[in-house]
Chain A
Amino acid sequence: KAGVTQTPRYLIKTRGQQVTLSCSPISGHRSVSWYQQTPGQGLQFLFEYFSETQRNKGNFPGRFSGRQFSNSRSEMNVSTLELGDSALYLCASSLVGLRDEQYFGPGTRLTVT
């Protein structure tokens, strides 16, 4: 069965712009979570969506937002980009939530200049 897909794989943006990343979960998975990975901070949890509702949220500013559609696909938006937002953004899906086995996508590499 197809894995988690993320688009685009690479992205270059300028400070102040906004960006939208997309994640398609494994078929049948209703939970989608997002993570930011940087060399300095490691892997950090952004938020989790389940059945179109945000269920858990990490400690990130309001510039980071997300949503989930009825087909479980999810998008993450970052507004007013800062240089420090340069990172690998990972999406993961699971059947029922964070306690369940999560399957990660390959990530979107965002570079902010």
Chain B
Amino acid sequence: EDQVTQSPEALRLQEGESSSLNCSYTVSGLRGLFWYRQDPGKGPEFLFTLYSAGEEKEKERLKATLTKKESFLHITAPKPEDSATYLCAVQAAGGTSYGKLTFGQGTILTVHP
């Protein structure tokens, strides 16, 4: 069964204090790994898709990386507006889970001014 584990569950940072969120996964072949941001009361907002180990993508203060077993979302010099729940998801490429999306429980990030 495909599994996605995100850590930590919650992270409190001071403005400007860089850190990383982790997403460990077990999947029957990886079609894609996705990062989303979700603000309270809203639907998730797409951030990145990573397709293969070694791939990296950046957007403003965020950088996502991918290995064969995990992905990291690095947040550089965060601002209070970066506070949100960050979700990781994987799409399976094989077996009975082909095509299905599996989400992690999310990391709640709070950035204090």
Which A residues are closer than 8 A to B by beta carbons? 4, 33, 42-45, 48, 55-59, 90, 92, 98-107
Contact flag A90-B101 (CB < 8 Å), given A99-B32, A99-B49: no
Task: Tell me whether B44 and A104 are in contact (CB under 8 A).
Answer: yes
Residues of B within 8 A of A107 (CB): 43
Residue-by-residue, is B31-64 near A (CB-CB < 8 Å gives 1, otherwise 0)?
A: 1101000000111111001010000000000000
Give the number of A-B contacts (CB < 8 Å). Answer: 56
- Contact yes or no, A58 B42, CB < 8 A: no
Selected from B31, B32, B41, B43, the residue in CB contact (under 8 A) with A92 is B43
Q: Determine the chain B residues whose CB is within 8 A of the CB of A59 once the complex forms.
A: 100
Q: Are A45 and B102 in contact (CB under 8 A)?
A: yes
Pick 30 A–B contacts, CB within 8 A, sort by A: A33-B101, A42-B105, A43-B103, A44-B103, A45-B102, A55-B99, A56-B98, A56-B99, A56-B101, A57-B100, A59-B100, A92-B43, A92-B44, A98-B32, A98-B99, A99-B31, A99-B32, A99-B49, A99-B51, A99-B91, A101-B46, A101-B49, A102-B34, A102-B46, A104-B42, A104-B43, A104-B46, A105-B43, A106-B42, A107-B43
Contact partners of A48 in chain B: CB under 8 A: 99
Q: Are the C-beta atoms of B43 and A98 separated by less than 8 Å?
A: no
